[in-house]
Structure 1
Amino acid sequence: MNVRTLGLFTMLFAPAMLIDGYRHGMQRTLNGENDLTGDLLTLSFAVGWWCAVLGLKRLQATGTGRLGRIIVTVPLVTIAFAVLQEILDMLQFNMQHPLYVMSDLAWPLSMLLTFVVSVAVLFARVLPMPHRLAPLVCGISLPVGIGYMVFARLEDMPLAEFGWHTAIGWFLLGLALVTADSRQGRARVLAPA
């Protein structure tokens, strides 16, 4: 699958968590409480997220060095575990099982690692500036959500803001992947053989 296709999947699945939030009136659903449609929506968001990180890896957006390759590879593993959590929810798997606990912890860990990836993309300077900012919009979603929660003295993450942030952020990241891939394709065509 090429980077453009990965970007299109990212764009397509970006609003999935926002849609699920609206389905529940922006009320939080705990693990195991969502229905099959909600689990599929959350699963599709995670798959789009995984596609986005894979696209960044294929573009070598975090650099060509060993550290850059590691930084962009680790979230591919943690996001895969986040995908697994949704599958386990659909199967009504035991939530006390270590595999479920590990896959549930993969969600916030993957969000934090997305922030690390976004900073690496910014400093690697492989992509043009607008394309380097798109991962940062995604990467700051959890820190901004937590900051807003603390500032507003809320007990839980503001789901509407978080849902809109993820929908817009991942859509922009998908768009950046689509356009970066087409720019690189043109550069290859124009380069002498």
Structure 2
Amino acid sequence: MKRNPYEMNGPVSQATRPTSPKENTMNVRTLGLLTMLCAPTMLIDGFRHGMQRTLNGENDLLGNLLYMAFAVGWWCAMLGLKRLHATGRGKLGRFIVTLPLVTIFLAILQSPLDILHFDMGSPLYMVTDLAWPLSMVLTFVVSVAVLFARQLPLPHRLAPLFCGISLPVGFAYMAFARLQDMPIAEFGWHTAIGWFLLGLSLVAARPREERQTILAAA
């Protein structure tokens, strides 16, 4: 009697059974949908304030929740890219896509701290505040890794890149228009469109193994 290769001393449990490509795709699609739903939240908050910048601690409850929702969708997007092995299957690729999961989680924490009127001079608050621009930089790094890893079809590799350049484009716009602050309208529209497209690419993406199976069966 042949033994199941995944069987140890008894029947294969749900916890030890490997996730099939189809199950993985379903999870990634859910993460993509969440990313799409959360993508326009920073733009919505910008409209609420007439596209004027709100400093830390000045936003209201709804504004903080909108920023937190965007960060949650952002975190889901990075997790989806990780599950698709979009940055490659080696240690470096896994490390690159894991880093923003940590920094974005810290960025998420800033909203509850603002809601609770936490001391903005505390080390914890400063870390959560720095996590936002750091996560944007890491998103750009992830987007470049996705582009060169070639684990996904080209259209799905361009969506992360559009998100990754949001901060550089914002700084370029500041320099061109001679602005002192990040242009809220430009940055809001860029993030809304970019993260929506990234979520859409996750919804439509298939793991490389599944694509190879389809091609082999064709």
Tell me which interval the TM-score lies in, with the shorter structure as reference length. Answer: over 0.9
- Residue type of the partner of 2:169? V
Q: Secondary structure at the match of 1:55?
A: helix
Q: Given that residues 84 and 207 in structure 2 are in contact (C-alpha distance below 8 angstroms), is that contact kept between their aligned partners in structure 1? A: no
Unaligned runs of 5+ in 1: none
Measured in 1, the distance between the counterparts of 2:85 and 2:207 equals 15
Measured in 1, the distance between the counterparts of 2:213 and 2:131 equals 37
Q: Given that residues 6 and 174 in structure 1 are in contact (C-alpha distance below 8 angstroms), is that contact kept between their aligned partners in structure 2? A: yes
Does residue 15 (structure 1) correspond to residue 43 (structure 2)? The answer is no
In structure 2, the residue matched to 1:138 is 163
Q: Given that residues 134 and 169 in structure 1 are in contact (C-alpha distance below 8 angstroms), is that contact kept between their aligned partners in structure 2? A: yes
Q: Given that residues 4 and 182 in structure 1 are in contact (C-alpha distance below 8 angstroms), is that contact kept between their aligned partners in structure 2? A: no
Q: Write the mapping of 1:1-193 to structure 2, written as runs, cut at 5 A.
A: 2-181=27-206
In structure 1, the residue matched to 2:4 is none
> Once the 2 structures are TM-superposed, how far is the Cα of residue 189 of structure 1 from its aligned partner?
6.6
Equivalenced residues, count? 192
Residue 183 and residue 74 in structure 1: after superposition, are their counterparts in 2 closer, same or farther (change >3 A)?
A: closer
Residue 49 and residue 184 in structure 1: after superposition, are their counterparts in 2 closer, same or farther (change >3 A)?
A: farther
1:52-106 CA-partner distances (Å, limit 9, x unpaired): 0000000000000111000000000000000011111111111000000000000
Measured in 2, the distance between the counterparts of 1:99 and 1:175 equals 34
Measured in 2, the distance between the counterparts of 1:67 and 1:90 equals 37
Measured in 1, the distance between the counterparts of 2:65 and 2:97 equals 25
Task: Give TM-score scaled by structure 1 length.
Answer: 0.95
- RMSD in angstroms over aligned alpha carbons? 1.6
Q: Given that residues 141 and 162 in structure 1 are in contact (C-alpha distance below 8 angstroms), is that contact kept between their aligned partners in structure 2? A: yes
Measured in 2, the distance between the counterparts of 1:130 and 1:190 equals 18
Q: Secondary structure at the match of 1:2?
A: helix
Q: Given that residues 62 and 126 in structure 1 are in contact (C-alpha distance below 8 angstroms), is that contact kept between their aligned partners in structure 2? A: yes
> Once the 2 structures are TM-superposed, how far is the Cα of residue 184 of structure 1 from its aligned partner?
6.3
In structure 1, the residue matched to 2:6 is none
Larger radius of gyration: 2
> Once the 2 structures are TM-superposed, how far is the Cα of residue 151 of structure 1 from its aligned partner?
1.5
Q: Secondary structure at the match of 1:126?
A: coil
Unaligned runs of 5+ in 2: 1-25
